[in-house]
Chains A and B, each alone.
Chain A
Amino acid sequence: MKEALLEINNLCVDYVSANGVARAVNNVSLTIAPGETLGIAGESGCGKSTLAFAITRLHKAPALISEGEIIYNGRDVLKMSDKELRDFRWNDVSIVFQSAMNSLNPVITIGEQLTDVIVAHKRISFKQAAVKAKELLGIVGIHGDRLKSFPHQLSGGMRQRVVIAIALALEPKLIIMDEPTTALDVVVEREILNELYDLKEKFGFSILFISHDLSLMGEIADRIGVMYAGNLIEIGDAKTVFSKPSHPYTKGLIASFPTIHGPKERLYGIPGDPVNLLRLPTGCNFQDRCADCMDICKKEDPLLAELNVDYHAACHKL
């Protein structure tokens, strides 16, 4: 295995409120290799976005990184000074936000939103940056005249492309994509994902791809990690996670999505509701919803164990 580009060790992120401390990311460790696409799946509220925000330290109060390390290319992100952090952001890791529609400022031209990040990180003038910005728009299939447009003058799909162009602006080595296409219709989603893959071939960046759509992820990710209530409960190569999952939660998650090609099957949801982070049970967080629950599950936390080379899951049954 290649040297990791990003290595997260035992990361914990807490939301501190008057009602108590909610641990939205609990003891998560993972690596991303150069050029690799790692998918993170899990139901709403399991901590995917919180994990993504932590990577460039974007969390704001009441969120707090209480433990762990984030090592990017040998440097600990959590120990960077403000200046180092500003340089690191976007230069090395850029982000396509969950609501890409809202991540463009409505009263600033897309040209300025593209050029300002270039000027902030490179020693070039706004004029030179504008040339580069035109080029970037071209790459995502938007005419250069659109630099003067405001976000509301573009369609949803075009805005999404602009956001991707901004993410590519400094040619980062890692792009975090937090449900980049959830707000788009299926056709546009398909188009954009295909383009994204061409771009990835061309630029060779890694992707941390967050989604709750496992079938989409099965297609595009090299490896998939599944989160439940802040814990990473299964991680391994995409094919195995998708076709032969080990953890009962992953099985349920996959059974609850329709497959595009396979025969028509009955869809199975996962019974019960997601757990409340403020009132976690002793032992496995999934116990109330798990059909395979045993005595030990109610006493001890299952730990992530290696089932195979580069394949881990956290369940007492395995």
Chain B
Amino acid sequence: MSFLLRRLSFYFTAFLIAISFNFMLPRMMPGDPIDALFAAAQGKMDPAQMDAVREMYGFVDGNVFEQYLSYMQSVFTLDLGPSVLMFPIDVTTVVGMSLPWTMFLALGSLIVALILGVTIGTYSSYRREGFFGQFVPPFLAFISNFPYIVTALLLFYFFGLQLELLPLAYTYDPAIDPGFTLEFIGSVAKHAVLPMGSMILVGIATWVFNMRNAMINVLGEDYVTMAEAKGLSSFRVMYRYAGRNAILPVATAIAMAIGFSFAGSIMTEVVFNYQGLGNILLKGIMARDYPLIQAILLILVSAVLTANFVADLLYVWLDPRISK
């Protein structure tokens, strides 16, 4: 347990630092960002609402410490004020609508790339001398070395514009009512193919190589030789005895990859006009919608930290030597 508690307190501290940074940011900008914000709102807000936003940022009367406390209170009660861009909707609501799509994109592509990469990596280490081991990993490395934006635009161009096989925008067909229907799920899947596919293509090689290298180390271990000497099937030796251990260093890399995947999904959403947080963030920045930007940063930080904690849980489950 002590391991998880230590991690949890680490994440909590990281979260506090991140939101404190969020608090200082508007104060470090030249001029009063709140005035700039209200200018941008172009009179859509009434004075009471403007006060609410001020309060949310902690621009209340009193010293910095009191301001900080007031800011913290609004963060922890999720009282983040209305969005300027989509006035008068609360930023919490705006974020709540797009967050699931970003999670779906970022975590979905990470999980698929991970599963495919680990399987291919394991197999190619076992068949190092054969065609598969010789050609598949270098080919994947070649693909993933393209800058992401090139891969994404190429896919966008061929599958979307030229072949017209796949949709180029939105998370699902607006003509379909959302719900737990086959039609809706099919539409979501179809709209996810290109954005997710591009992220998987870029991400997969890392996992293939991580896993392959880890496997090559583990295959020389005595317990693998012993498993072979026991006359176990090669499938069992490969996945249970060698793969089970080789995945440990790979699992530690997951935590880091989660952050990258969220960052990557922001770019993806812009390219494929996918209605996730990244897309909203871009629009928010252009409209100087400070409450929205701050809320999105806050949510991204929480999402990444939570996902990291899940990765820690996974690691504890995988390695019994870590204290529970």
Contacts and interface: CB of A to CB of B under 8 A. Distances in A.
Pairing of A with B: yes
Interface of A: 53, 56, 58, 61, 85-91, 94-95, 97-99, 102-108, 116-117, 120-121, 150, 152, 166
A225 to B, nearest CB: 22
B173 interface: no
Nearest to A99: B222
Given A86-B231, A86-B232, A120-B231, 16 more contacts: A53-B225, A89-B228, A89-B231, A90-B229, A90-B230, A97-B225, A103-B222, A103-B226, A105-B223, A105-B245, A106-B321, A107-B320, A107-B321, A108-B241, A108-B244, A117-B232
19 contacts: A53-B225, A58-B225, A58-B229, A61-B129, A87-B231, A89-B230, A89-B231, A94-B229, A95-B226, A97-B226, A103-B223, A105-B223, A105-B227, A105-B244, A106-B223, A107-B318, A116-B240, A120-B232, A152-B321
Contacts of B221: 102
Interface in B286-324: 318-321
Given A102-B222, A107-B321, A150-B320, A89 B244 contact: no
B251 to A, nearest CB: 11
B162 to A, nearest CB: 47
Interface string B229-241: 1111100100011
B230 A104 contact: no
A106 B228 CA distance: 16
A104 B321 contact: no
A55 to B, nearest CB: 10
A94 B248 CA distance: 29
A104 to B, nearest CB: 6
A87 B319 CA distance: 31
Nearest to A118: B230
Interface string B124-135: 000001000000
B245 A106 contact: yes
A104 B223 contact: yes
Contact of A90 (B223, B231, B236): B231
* Closest 8 A/B residue pairs (Cβ): A89-B231, A105-B223, A102-B222, A103-B226, A103-B222, A117-B230, A86-B231, A150-B320
